[in-house]
Amino acid sequence: MATITARRLFLARPLSQLRRMSPWWLAAIVAVSGLVTTLAAWQVSAGSGEAAARARFDGVADQITLAIQRRMISHEQILRGGGALFNLNNDLNRVQWRTYVAGLRLEETYPGILGVGFTRRLPAADLAQHVARVRAEGFPEYTVHPQQPRDEYHSIIYLEPFWGRNLRAFGYDMMTEPTRRAALERARDNGEPAMTRRVVLVQEGKQDVQPGFLLYFPVYRAGMPRGSVEERRLGLLGFVYSPFRARDLMTGILAGFNNDIAVEVFDGDAGGGDNLMFASAAVSADAPPRFNASRRLEFGGIHWTVRYSSLPAFEAAQPDPSRFVLFAGLVLTGFLAVLVMSLANTRNRAFAMARDMTSQLSESETRLRSVLASAAEGILTVSAAGRVHTANPAAERIFGLEGRDMDGKALDDLIVDHDVPRLCRIIEEQGIGVNAVARFEAQGRRATGENFPLAVSLSRTVDDGIARFTLMVRDVTEAKLTESILQLRERAIESSSNGIVIADMRLPGNPVIYVNPGFQRITGYSADEIIGRNCKLLQGGDAEQPGVKELALAIAGRRPASVLLRNYRKDGSLFWNELSVAPVFDEAGICTHYVGIQNDITQRVQAEDDLQVRKERLDAIFSLSPDGFVGFGADDTLTDVNPAFLRMTGFRQEELVGITEEEFDRRMQGLCDPALPYPPVRARIEDDGEGVPPIDGDRRSAPRHTLTLLKPEKRILQRSVRRGAEGSLEKVVYFRDVTRETEVDRLKSEFLSTAAHELRTPMASIFGFSELLLRRKYDETKTRELVGTINRQASILINLINELLDLARIEARAGKDFKARRQDPRALIENTVANLMVQNDPRRVLVTLGADIPAVDFDTEKLGLCLTNVLSNAYKYSPDGGSIELSTVTSAPGQRKALGIRVRDHGIGMTGEQVARVFERFYRADPSGNIPGTGLGMSLVKEIMELHGGDVDVESVRGMGTTVTLWLPLPEDRPMPLAA
């Protein structure tokens, strides 16, 4: 049967040949073969009844076989379409896949197919990342199962429609199951569709379990060679596949046939129940079928056996087989042709998409080529074998290969350690697909062997099915250098202790866009708190500052400025901000930013203020001090001299300022007592053994020296020198006028020795005479005389002691026990005169009182003491007689109004020198002892009169007598009431 043979031949043709045929041709072939078969069957069936029935049976078997075959071809086409999509985009996403599968309208068109899926190959190293990525898509439960570790995983990542029992397959690694694995490896190695043997699908539940099988189509990585088995194994991306439930599939296929023939499908040869995939109806063993037929189906690398058995229904119904055959055959043929055409169209649609994309790529590449020559960046295309295909001039320049042909150069000679697999890994790692760009940095190698940093943009193109890599390379040596300098500057700014702030002048309100840590440290504001706000924030409410106005003017004029501002930290505390600002201009000369550098000089300002205050205080001390200061500068000349020093020395400031230390010493020496050594200021401290060590113990202070000045008047000055810092010539010379202290000291010591002398003199008599009396025998008269002497000397001693005590009391108490009372002095004068006891002197005081003596304020007891002293002196110092006169007088006109009590004698008188010393303590005009006295009387008188606000006048002429007047101020003229 030639036709059968032909049909068989046709059926056995490799499906791959069909693939390339146009749908019209396919449809035509199907139609023609269908017609031939139909006509042949019709002819045969027109023969005898038995032969006709047989023919009809065979025809139905053939038709069913063909239907199965067609259906499988359709499914293969669906897989090839899916594979084509993956070839175009290795990273086809779930939505794209869903779109493709949905477009096939599987549910309506292909009952029995469970879905169309994609299982992806995953190297073990990529598993975790892959799982994470899928989970991130919204499948937190996703995992590749089963989970035992292996080198390579395959995971069903897409399976549309993605619902129901298909979800069970999500993440399933079909390689782990031997039956599936065999088909998968076949598909992978051959690059052709492959079908599994009978399996139970993972989609199956517990009920209604059917035999199933799967159909695989391998997908390889774009651009990878796939000429040999090894290359295909290497380049495998995954598989597009469909799972099938055999009964559902067959039921669908058989729906168009009368069910009067039992159909059994066996995986492999017909046999027992083990490999039975499908049975349409049970064949009764009691009634063997009249007709039997087997057909072998080869598909996807395996074969099925379909066994047909006639059923009683078939055998009973044979009315006009030939007519039926003709009709059914024609209908079926037409139907098949249309079906084939539609399937082929499906496939063609996928290819059309691919062609569109490819043509777009070609256009894109053409455009790229047009810019290659002029591009500033190096552009290389590299073949899948890792050889340079094209290179533009910039690339030649970068690699130091100007004018030389780069074609054929190995990629890893140009880019260290980068070959094609590495590029593939980079692309995969960066997770990008065709026409997208991966970026990486690497070491380039120039023709000279020198390495340099290289920035590479990598993309993979598939042009007419040939994969190429395009690399855009840039020599980043300078950029790296610039980058490192920028990083350095960035670090410098970050680590600056000054605050650095940048404001954007193009935005309203000129907000701060950057502050460094220094700013945050100084102000207490964090970057978050200040960025976006204006720097005026730091002014608090304190805008009325000269610095603020100056700053505003400078910014308005887009000028730089340096100002000192009172600013406030976040906690409100004040700080002095020494702020420098400078504008930043763009190419067009528009001010885009202002940069400010702030320096917290609070401490400095505080220190300056403190210094100023101290300086003012020191200046005041310098000017007002009663002590003299002379300052020498570092250049050894006199720089400062204060008023006190000028008063002490009589120098004028202008004649001193600017002179050297040596000249200063010379002038000072000129004032000093030439009889005493002059210790120069210049003397080195360690050489100076003469002076008193400095009081403060400071090494910088020189010993103290005492200078005795004779000019401009006698003065004793104590001098100290304090030097400046170690090695400096600066020094301050300090003078203290100790004239008065020295004089007081001298007086005190003189007083003591004089007092001792005055006390010893009567004591010597008392001691001596009493010793005589004790040790010698004298007669009554002599004894009395000696005792009288002792008594007289003792009374002198008593007076002396009393007067000393009076004086000390008055001086010490400074008049505190002074009891002044306004009264008429006459009674006092008369009482004093009357009580005056002068031994061995018969003279009486001649008292002449004025008629109108005014009342005055006096202390009776003390004024009485004064008057007694004065009268007693008048007696004592006129031993040769002469009257003693007491009178009252009033002050001369023009002088202060006062009452004078005047005592006059005509005795020995005093010289001018003696008068001048009359108020000195212990001074005696006649120290012979013939005139008894202590030398304290007049001192006491003077003290007391001064306490009264009055005075004492002494006039005397040697040999002629002395006149003493005690002056008491009149009350209305008393300057101050005494503090009694």
Partner 1 sequence: MARKLVVVDDQTEARQLITLVLSTEDHVIHEVGSGENAIDMVRALEPDTVILDVVMPGPVNGLDICRAIKSDPVLRRTGVILVTARGEPQDLQAGWAAGADAYIVKPFGFDHLVSTVERVGAEGAGPAASR
Q: Which is nearer to partner 1, 20 or 775 (CB)?
A: 775
Between CA 481 and CA 492, with CA 486 as vertex, the angle to 5 degrees is 130
772 belongs to the binding site for partner 1 (CB under 8 A): yes
**Phi-psi category of 618—alpha, beta or left, where left has phi over 0 and alpha has psi -120 to 50?**
alpha
Which helix (H) or strand (E) element contains residue 765?
Answer: helix 739-775
Which of the stretches 498-506, 847-855, 875-883, 921-929 binds partner 1 when contact is defined by CB under 8 A? Answer: 921-929
Q: Is 789 in the site for partner 1 (CB under 8 A)?
A: yes
3-state SS assignment for residue 12? helix
Segment interacting with partner 1, rule: CB under 8 A, options 319-327, 329-337, 385-393, 763-771: 763-771
Choices 476-484, 556-564, 611-619, 919-927; region in contact with partner 1 by CB under 8 A: 919-927
Phi and psi, residue 489, nearest 5°: -65, -40
**Which residue in 927, 942, 958, 970 binds partner 1 (CB under 8 A)?**
927
Q: Of 767, 784, 811, 879, which one interacts with partner 1 (CB under 8 A)? A: 767
Non-local (6+) Cβ contacts of 39 within 8 A are 326, 329
Shortest distance, CB of residue 757 to partner 1, whole angstroms? 4
Of 764, 808, 834, 957, the one binding partner 1 (CB under 8 A) is: 764
Choose, by CB under 8 A, the member of 769, 818, 877, 967 that binds partner 1. Answer: 769
The token duo for 875 is 């007696």
Interface residue with partner 1 among 748, 760, 816, 844 (CB under 8 A) is 760
Question: How far is 653 from 631, CA to CA, in rounded Å?
Answer: 12
Q: Choose the binding region for partner 1 from 150-158, 198-206, 258-266, 755-763 (rule: CB under 8 A).
A: 755-763
d(CA 422, CA 428): 10
**Should residue 967 be labelled a site residue for partner 1 when binding is judged by CB under 8 A?**
no
Is 757 a binder of partner 1 (CB under 8 A)? Answer: yes
Q: Which is nearer to partner 1, 122 or 790 (CB)?
A: 790
Binding window for partner 1 (CB under 8 A); candidates: 125-133, 160-168, 206-214, 927-935: 927-935
Q: How big is the chain, counted in residues? A: 980
> Residue 81 and residue 474: Cα distance in Å, rounded?
40
Residue identified by tokens 């199956």 is: 204
In the complex, what is the shortest distance from the CB of residue 702 to partner 1, in angstroms, rounded to a whole number?
31
Which is closer to partner 1, CB of 341 or CB of 908?
Answer: 908
Closest separation in Å from C-beta 663 to partner 1: 39
Nearer to partner 1, 815 or 909 (CB): 909
The one segment of 47-55, 165-173, 311-319, 761-769 that binds partner 1 by CB under 8 A: 761-769
581: Cβ–Cβ under 8 A, 6 or more apart, which residues? Answer: 551, 554, 555, 560, 561, 562, 594, 595, 596, 597
Determine the residue type at 487.
Answer: Q
How far apart are CB 931 and partner 1 at their closest, in Å? 9
Rounded CA gap, 909 and 739, in Å? 33
Verify binding: residue 765, partner 1, rule CB under 8 A: yes
Is 794 a binding residue for partner 1 by CB under 8 A? The answer is no
Of 288-296, 393-401, 517-525, 766-774, the window that binds partner 1 (rule: CB under 8 A) is 766-774
**Beta-ladder partners of 514:** 502
> CB of 772: closest distance to partner 1 in angstroms?
5
Using CB under 8 A as the binding rule, whether residue 887 contacts partner 1 is answered as: no
The span from the CA of 86 to the CA of 350, in Å, is 11
Which one of residues 333, 381, 793, 963 is an interface residue with partner 1 (CB under 8 A)? 793
User: Does 775 interact with partner 1 (rule: CB under 8 A)?
Assistant: yes
From the list 35, 276, 513, 763, which residue makes contact with partner 1 (rule: CB under 8 A)?
763
Calpha distance 7→329 (Å, rounded): 15
Structure tokens at 739: 């004239």
Inter-residue contact 658 to 638 (CB < 8 Å): yes
Element (H, E) at 411: helix 411-414
Q: Which is nearer to partner 1, 774 or 812 (CB)?
A: 774
Nearest approach, Cβ of residue 843 and partner 1 (Å):
22
Q: Which of 431, 465, 557, 929 binds partner 1 (CB under 8 A)?
A: 929
Which are the contacts of 732, defined by CB distance < 8 A and separation ≥ 6? 629, 630, 631, 632, 721, 722
In angstroms, give the least distance from the CB of 775 to partner 1: 6
Do residues 966 and 900 make contact, with C-beta atoms less than 8 angstroms apart? Answer: yes
Rounded CA Rg of the chain: 69
Closer to partner 1 at the Cβ: 396 or 758? Answer: 758
Contact of 341 with 73, CB cutoff 8 Å: no
Q: Is 557 in the site for partner 1 (CB under 8 A)?
A: no
β-strands 378-383, 388-391 pairing = antiparallel
**Residue 119 CB partners (closer than 8 Å, separation 6+):** 154, 155, 156, 157, 173, 174, 238, 239, 241
* Nearest distance, CB of residue 659 and partner 1, angstroms: 41
Across 81-110, b (16+ Cβ under 10 Å) vs e yields: bbbbbbbbbbebebeebeebbeebebeeeb
Which of 264, 267, 758, 803 binds partner 1 (CB under 8 A)? It is 758
Q: Minimum distance between the CB of residue 959 and partner 1, rounded to whole angstroms?
A: 15
Q: Kindly report the backbone phi and psi dihedral angles of residue 213, in degrees, each rounded to the nearest multiple of 5, phi listed first.
A: -155, 165
Report the first-to-last Cα separation within the chain, whole angstroms. Answer: 169
Q: Which is nearer to partner 1, 908 or 945 (CB)?
A: 908
Closest approach, Cβ 760 to partner 1, in A, equals: 4
Is the Cβ of residue 48 or residue 795 nearer to partner 1 in the bound state? 795
- By CB under 8 A, name the one of 549, 776, 784, 844 that touches partner 1: 776
Q: Which element (helix H / strand E) includes 796?
A: helix 780-813
Question: Omega before 712 cis (within 30°)?
Answer: yes
Given its phi and psi angles, is residue 762 left (phi above 0), alpha (psi -120 to 50 degrees) or beta?
alpha
DSSP, collapsed to helix, strand or coil, labels residue 330 as helix
Among 287, 756, 801, 834, binds partner 1 (CB under 8 A): 756
Question: Between 725 and 754, how does the x/- string for binding to partner 1 read (CB under 8 A)?
Answer: ----------------------------x-
What sign does the dihedral 802-808-814-817 (CA atoms) show?
negative
Q: How far apart, in whole angstroms, are the C-alpha atoms of residue 186 and residue 184? A: 5
Q: Minimum CB separation from partner 1 for residue 756, in Å? A: 7
Six-digit token string for 528: 């978050």
The nearest distance, CB 930 to partner 1, in angstroms, is: 7
Is the Cβ of residue 333 or residue 914 nearer to partner 1 in the bound state? Answer: 914
Q: Which region among 402-410, 787-795, 882-890, 948-956 touches partner 1 (by CB under 8 A)?
A: 787-795
Residue type, 515: V
Q: Which stretch binds partner 1 (CB under 8 A): 109-117, 360-368, 662-670, 771-779?
A: 771-779
Is 795 among the residues that bind partner 1 (CB under 8 A)?
no
If binding is defined by CB under 8 A, does position 928 make contact with partner 1? yes
- H/E element, 351: helix 321-372
CA atoms of 792 and 798, how far apart (whole Å): 10
Among 111, 161, 694, 768, indicate the residue that binds partner 1 (CB under 8 A). 768
- How many binding residues for partner 1 (CB under 8 A)? 28
Contact status: 926 vs partner 1 (CB under 8 A): yes
Segment lying near partner 1 (by CB under 8 A), choices 410-418, 470-478, 729-737, 767-775: 767-775
Of 804 and 833, CB closest to partner 1 = 804
Q: Note the residues at the interface with partner 1 (CB under 8 A).
A: 753, 756-761, 763-769, 771-772, 775-776, 786, 789, 792-793, 924, 926-930
